[in-house]
Amino acid sequence: MKHKNLGFIVAALGILGFATLMLVVIPSFQLAEVEPEEGLKPYSELEQAGRKIYIREGCVYCHSQQPRDPRQAPDTARGWGRPSTPGDYAYDYPHLLGTMRTGPDLFNVGVRQPSDEWHLVHLYQPRAVVSWSIMPAYPFLFEHKPVAAPGDRVITLPPPYASKTGVVVAKPEALALVAYLKALQRDYPSNQLPFRSPRKTAEETTP
């Protein structure tokens, strides 16, 4: 019995060691010298603040930031941008690749939606701009006021959602989050090869 237990332990440790080697050690060496893509800019202080709010509110649970190769998924055809490369994430820590797509990929949302107003209205009440959206609303990032003060960013809402007793003003947190979302613009040409599947397509194998 002791020999059987010992064999089981050795096999388990071997599997764990192999998985660690393949998933942690080797990739860390492969990506150790990755340089930022030419055209990628570091986040500003405001964008960094917005990124922290993005993490705090759990946006990564429903949105990815990793368009895939066209041979893996039609992400490019969906308008989500070219396949991402390691250099696209040089200034991202922690990385927010995401694994779920309850909502669309946000790798290039700053290109698709460059309007501050759209993002603010969408955060306050997603159904105001996308009737079928299941995204939760974030009204706590805004403030209702009888009248706007100098410097306030008032958002214009459709009649069903507009304040009936004053105005809706974006708090600094909302403005920071929008700044981060708009900073997600990976539309520059890539100098690094995207991930390519080792399996050849039918076109590549046809003489």
Q: Which amino acid is at 94?
A: P
Q: What is the 3-state secondary structure (H, E, C) of 39-73?
A: CCCCCCHHHHHHHHHHHHCCHHHCCCCCCCCCCCC
Strand, coil or helix: what is 145?
Answer: strand
Q: 57-93 pLDDT, tens per residue?
A: 999 999 999 999 998 899 999 999 999 998 999 999 9
Domains of the chain plus CATH, in order, are 43-190 (1.10.760.10)
The secondary structure of 115-130 as a DSSP string is: -HHHHHHHHH-GGGT-
Looking at every residue in the chain, the average pLDDT score rounds to 88
Confidence of residue 199 (pLDDT cuts 50, 70, 90): very low
The alpha carbon dihedral of 200, 189, 88, 187 has a sign of: negative
Side chain identity, residue 180: Y
pTM recorded for the entire structure: 0.81
Please say whether the dihedral angle defined by the alpha carbons of residues 23, 24, 29 and 33, taken in this order, is positive or negative: positive
DSSP for residue 198: S
